[in-house]
């Protein structure tokens, strides 16, 4: 079957076999058996020039130099990449895309000189989003979130973690998680859910933080587990938010319900978040803008993936996580967007790659590996996603013809994605 066949026939025929030909560069190939890439391994993007890619039933079956492409039958859809590059879809391991409306007023406050912490103390930030979310219906939340999901898919994202944390009451956290569950069921990309009831202290518990922690453990967690709404539990362990001891309690409580821990840590100060993450075998510890050399040492020989969020540093005009240091120390750095209404209103992972190169001094190959295989690992799905590997889910995108892979972060605002494939099927949006 060819692309120029009868369009009506194509729409009514479920394509199970796809051959991508005339690929200028196929990147992110191999890495068989690799959970993630560490240190110097991150420089190995693995590319094949003048390549093909063959997919059956939504899985990658074969790839290689164009001269080795397989013989095909009439039941195969042939897609001409027209000399463009093919890369694995981005995996965004840290987003908050379920939220109610924007917060551009706080953006103006930041321009006037207020810090993130000062805005939060004035009732803005996370609590502002919680107030707005409380007023919105589950249906409207879903509609808004799906618009954002569509937006990031068109920018090359094929898997994402979505966190709760703008509810901060039992009812509203469940509302958020039900929306995330619905997105899981209806969106074409892979979605994992993270319960972040400990994003801030709910207004009803102002001045009673320890009671709010008890509320999460005794009331929220059992309800979340009963409905099977989350894959992970997360805590904002930082100055002015939750302490290391509270974080430890929350992660240990989550473990009893089969929820592995993740941590927001070391964003505003050296907070002890990395230490708790390693101690509790958290899957990832995210932000790390304020981490120190001791934190880097703690992460060595652990299974916790350090995850940088360069979009946050850019938008808040704060220091960037020391990505270069982490890689030179042999760590498996991941990079995610932190898409949220307050500190990073962008899910553009291509821009995150550029920021990682420009501001964190990563090489292009390192930044791309950090946003694909390593970020897949940071949400526990790297066996299925994050690279062009035989047997993995066929999530990838085709670019316009580009001079080299390095052009991707170099041309930091140039739209280069021509076509998107999720589970082996082209996404039309």
Point out the annotated binding site for 4-imidazolone-5-propanoate: 103, 166, 199, 267, 343
Residues near 410 by beta carbon (within 8 Å), at least 6 away in sequence: 354, 364
Q: Cα 215 to the chain's mean position, in Å? A: 28
List residues forming the annotated binding site for Fe(3+).
Answer: 94, 96, 264, 338
List residues forming the annotated binding site for N-formimidoyl-L-glutamate.
Answer: 166, 340, 342
Cα–Cα–Cα angle for 325, 234, 204, nearest 5°? 130
Separation of alpha carbons 181 and 313, rounded Å:
29
Cα–Cα–Cα angle for 35, 358, 108, nearest 5°? 105
**Which stretches does DSSP call E strand in 312-424?**
334-335, 396-399, 417-422
Q: Do residues 191 and 183 make contact, with C-beta atoms less than 8 angstroms apart?
A: yes
Q: Is 108 exposed, middle or buried (0-12, 13-18, 19+ CB in 10 A)?
A: exposed
Q: Is 355 exposed, middle or buried (0-12, 13-18, 19+ CB in 10 A)?
A: buried
Cα–Cα–Cα angle for 231, 237, 240, nearest 5°? 140
Q: Do residues 61 and 54 make contact, with C-beta atoms less than 8 angstroms apart?
A: yes
Tokens linked to 353? 């790659």
Q: Do residues 237 and 276 make contact, with C-beta atoms less than 8 angstroms apart?
A: yes
Tokens linked to 243? 């302490």
Separation of alpha carbons 406 and 231, rounded Å:
35
Separation of alpha carbons 385 and 389, rounded Å:
9
List residues forming the annotated binding site for Zn(2+).
Answer: 94, 96, 264, 338
**Which stretches does DSSP call E strand in 37-156?**
47-56, 59-65, 77-80, 85-88, 90-95
List residues forming the annotated binding site.
Answer: 94, 96, 103, 166, 199, 264, 267, 338, 340, 342-343
DSSP-derived secondary structure letter, 232? E
Residue carrying structure tokens 């039958």:
73
Residues near 403 by beta carbon (within 8 Å), at least 6 away in sequence: none
């Amino acid at each position: 079957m060819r692309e120029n066949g009868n369009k009506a026939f194509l729409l009514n025929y479920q394509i199970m076999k796809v051959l991508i030909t005339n690929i200028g560069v196929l990147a992110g190939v191999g890495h068989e058996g690799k959970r993630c890439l560490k240190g110097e391994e991150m420089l190995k993007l693995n590319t094949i020039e003048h390549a093909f890619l063959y997919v059956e039933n939504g899985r990658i079956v074969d790839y290689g130099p164009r001269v080795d492409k397989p013989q095909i039958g009439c039941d195969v859809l042939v897609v001409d990449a027209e000399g463009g590059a093919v890369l694995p879809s981005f995996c965004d391991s840290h987003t908050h895309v379920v939220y109610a409306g924007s917060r551009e007023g706080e953006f103006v406050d930041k321009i006037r000189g207020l810090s993130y912490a000062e805005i939060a103390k004035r009732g803005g930030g996370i609590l502002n989003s919680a107030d707005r979310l409380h007023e919105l219906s589950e249906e409207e939340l879903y509609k808004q979130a799906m618009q954002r999901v569509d937006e990031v898919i068109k920018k090359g994202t094929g898997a994402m973690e979505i966190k709760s944390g703008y509810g901060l009451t039992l009812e509203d956290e469940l509302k958020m998680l039900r929306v995330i569950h619905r997105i899981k069921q209806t969106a074409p990309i892979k979605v994992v859910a993270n319960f972040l009831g400990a994003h801030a202290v709910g207004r009803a518990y102002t001045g009673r933080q320890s009671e709010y922690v008890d509320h999460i453990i005794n009331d929220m967690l059992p309800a979340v587990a009963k409905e099977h709404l989350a894959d992970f539990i997360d805590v904002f362990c930082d100055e002015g938010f939750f302490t290391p001891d509270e974080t430890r309690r929350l992660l240990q409580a989550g473990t009893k319900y089969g929820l592995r821990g993740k941590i927001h840590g070391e964003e505003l100060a050296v907070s002890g978040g990395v230490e708790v993450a390693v101690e509790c075998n958290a899957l990832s510890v995210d932000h790390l803008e304020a981490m120190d050399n001791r934190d880097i040492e703690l992460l060595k020989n652990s299974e916790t993936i350090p995850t940088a969020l360069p979009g946050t540093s850019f938008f808040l005009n704060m220091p960037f996580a020391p990505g270069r240091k982490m890689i030179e120390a042999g760590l498996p750095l991941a990079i995610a967007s932190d898409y949220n209404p307050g500190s990073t209103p962008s899910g553009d992972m291509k821009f995150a790659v550029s920021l990682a190169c420009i501001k964190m001094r990563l090489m292009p190959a390192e930044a791309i590996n950090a946003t694909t295989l390593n970020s897949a690992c940071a949400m526990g799905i790297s066996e299925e996603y994050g690279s062009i590997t035989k047997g993995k889910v066929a999530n990838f995108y085709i670019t316009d013809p580009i001079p080299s892979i390095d052009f991707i972060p170099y041309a930091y605002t140039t739209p280069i994605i021509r076509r998107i494939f999720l589970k082996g099927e082209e996404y039309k949006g």
